[in-house]
């Protein structure tokens, strides 16, 4: 536990910037939850009893440390912005776990578990922007939306900003660091965060925040594809994506990973999925053998396959 507290402090300082205080303390409490205060973290006694191999404890401990940046370092402007504390801390804990354990599969497993819970409530749960009022409908909806869906929003931004050629995350890290630097010791709103995201991406991101923070849709993407030989040894790949469980105007860039007979090679592209059906054609230097739509848990969505007809 002590190592994870120290390591997460170092990691968050590197990616977000210096926290408000020089000294930090952790205390055991006889309850099944954690809580953070300026320079102090309360940690559940149960996480001291035994450490499993799921990554849960690493997420829990570092979530509370992350509040020194999100919730204390930068305070949400109002209850509608609570995800800037809890969602950011939840993502931070998950991100730390991924790196400290060097285990992408555990990272993706936690995201997928949250996805399935969010998806099960997509017709009933309110948007993230409702904040604590979500509890008025269902006692679990506040955690579901503010914590887990909030963390998913950052995961989607992380992958949206990913350089698919180099796989570096410099833009995402710079965005988070800049947001923290600007509002360190102050209050910030969702709109403030959106402005920082827009400045780093250079485009209007209203559509993204409308869909994922103010909206409730969780899309289902149904993938179909076929391929045929083209000239000069190339192949033509045709891809069709049917979008379900989302409004007609719902738009999202989704990565597509293409595998070949040589398993050391792959191609990665982004497809802009809009409306009920999206079709595209790609020219490839070799015959594709397998497609993975939405790799790296890039978008909060359910993925299905169907035959090309």
Q: Are 41 and 33 in contact (CB under 8 A)?
A: no
Shared domain check, 206 and 274: no
For residue 201, the tally of other CB atoms under 10 A from its CB is 15
Residue range 280-295, pLDDT digits in tens: 999 999 999 999 999 9
Same domain, 44 and 107: yes
pTM attached to this predicted model: 0.93
| pLDDT score for 51 | 67
User: Tell me, what's the pLDDT at 91?
Assistant: 98
The pLDDT assigned to 161 comes to 97
**166 and 86 share one domain:** yes
The H-or-E segment that residue 171 falls in is helix 170-183
How many CB atoms sit inside 10 A of residue 14's CB? Answer: 11
Tell me, yes or no, whether 26 and 145 share the same domain: yes
Among candidate residues 179, 212, 245, the one where a domain is terminated: 212
User: Which residue range(s) make up the domain with 146?
Assistant: 2-212
Residue 224 and residue 208 share a domain: no
The pLDDT, as a whole number, for residue 125 is 92
246 shares its domain with 204? no
pLDDT given for residue 50 in this prediction: 62
State pLDDT tens for residues 27-53: 887 777 788 889 988 888 776 766 667
| pLDDT computed for residue 45 by the predictor | 76
What pLDDT does residue 52 have?
A: 66
Residues 110 and 229 occupy one common structural domain = no
Cα–Cα distance for residue pair 183/187, rounded to 1 Å: 6
Angle at 192 between CA 188 and CA 190, to 5 degrees: 75
241 and 196 fall within a common domain = no
Given 212, 230, 245, which residue is the final one in a domain? 212
Q: How many domains does the chain have?
A: 2
- Tokens standing for 55? 């990554």
Same domain, 259 and 132: no
Q: What is the pLDDT of residue 295?
A: 96
**145 and 29 share a domain?**
yes
What are the average pLDDT values for consecutive 10-residue runs of the chain, which has 309 residues?
A: 85 97 86 83 75 79 95 98 98 96 94 96 92 87 96 98 90 98 98 99 98 97 96 95 96 96 90 96 95 97 95
Query: Structure tokens of 170?
Result: 């410099």
Contacts of 249 (CB under 8 A, 6+ apart): 274, 275
Of 174, 194, 212, the residue that ends a domain is 212
pLDDT at 126 (0 to 100): 93
């Amino acid at each position: 536990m002590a190592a994870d507290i120290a390591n997460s402090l170092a990691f968050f300082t590197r990616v977000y910037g210096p926290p408000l205080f020089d000294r930090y303390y952790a205390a055991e409490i006889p309850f099944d939850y954690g809580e953070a205060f300026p320079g102090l973290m309360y940690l559940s006694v149960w996480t001291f009893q035994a450490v499993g191999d799921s990554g849960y404890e690493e997420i829990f401990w570092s979530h509370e440390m992350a509040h020194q940046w999100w919730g204390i370092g930068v305070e949400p402007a109002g209850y509608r912005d609570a995800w800037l504390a809890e969602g950011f801390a939840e993502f931070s804990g998950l991100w730390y776990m991924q790196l400290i354990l060097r285990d992408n599969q555990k990272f993706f497993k936690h995201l997928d578990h949250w996805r399935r819970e969010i998806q099960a409530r997509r017709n009933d749960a309110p948007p993230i922007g409702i904040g604590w009022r979500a509890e008025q409908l269902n006692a679990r909806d506040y955690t579901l939306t503010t914590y887990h869906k909030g963390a998913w929003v950052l995961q989607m931004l992380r992958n949206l900003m990913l350089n698919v050629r180099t796989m570096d995350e410099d833009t995402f890290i710079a965005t988070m660091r800049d947001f923290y630097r600007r509002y360190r010791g102050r209050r910030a709103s969702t709109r403030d965060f959106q402005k920082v995201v827009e400045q780093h991406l250079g485009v209007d991101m209203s559509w993204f925040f409308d869909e994922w923070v103010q909206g409730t849709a969780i899309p289902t993407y149904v993938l179909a594809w076929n391929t045929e030989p083209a000239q000069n040894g190339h192949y033509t790949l045709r891809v069709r994506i049917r979008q379900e469980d989302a409004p007609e105007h719902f738009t999202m860039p989704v990565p597509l990973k293409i595998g070949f007979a040589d398993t050391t090679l792959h191609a990665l592209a982004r497809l802009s999925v809009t409306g009920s059906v999206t079709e595209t054609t790609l020219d490839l230097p070799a015959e594709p053998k397998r497609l993975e739509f939405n790799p790296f848990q890039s978008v909060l969505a359910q993925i299905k396959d169907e035959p090309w007809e």
